Homo-oligomer: A and B are copies of this chain.
């Protein structure tokens, strides 16, 4: 069963995913919820987070959810559009915290099913390079693929970003 309110925005690094996802939400009446999954482990990350925040106009309310994403989605006011940016950092946080990834994935899908507001999820496509030598990196890209597939199967709209432009997958 497809969820008409669910959109998945995939793409590589600096492919314009966040900007496209924000534009999708900002086309709707505000206020909007920005669910941020980033945890700043270092200066490079802090800089990226600050850059992303500075770009967002008024109308956004930011909620931090580095681990408990399903709960953060469920806690939003009924009908308020939600942007989740991004699945990739969330997955990284889950793995580093040794959470049960399959359970968290199922909970996220279930949370997306329960909301009725438009929800846009952003994810990095990381599986199109050479097989990483690092076992953790291999596990990470396998889990990212499983997560994207589970969400894409339910989403009414899936786009693959190339150079800032959306290619429609579904």
Contact = CB atoms under 8 A, between A and B. Distances in A.
Interface stretch (A65-73, A108-116, A135-143): A135-143
Contacts of A170: 165
A163 B167 contact: no
Contacts of A14: 127, 141-142, 144-146, 149
Contact of A149 (B128, B152, B163): B163
A15 B145 contact: yes
A86 to B, nearest CB: 12
A26 interface: no
Contacts of A38: none
Interface of A: 8, 10, 12-16, 44, 125-132, 135, 137-138, 140-142, 144-146, 148-149, 151-153, 158, 160, 162-165, 167, 169-170
A157 to B, nearest CB: 11
Given A128-B125, A128-B128, A130-B129, A10 B163 contact: yes
A22 to B, nearest CB: 15
Contacts of A169: 162-163, 165, 167
A130 B125 contact: no
Nearest to A145: B14
Contact of A127 (B13, B151, B153): B13
A72 to B, nearest CB: 22
Most buried by B among A141, A146, A158, A162: A162
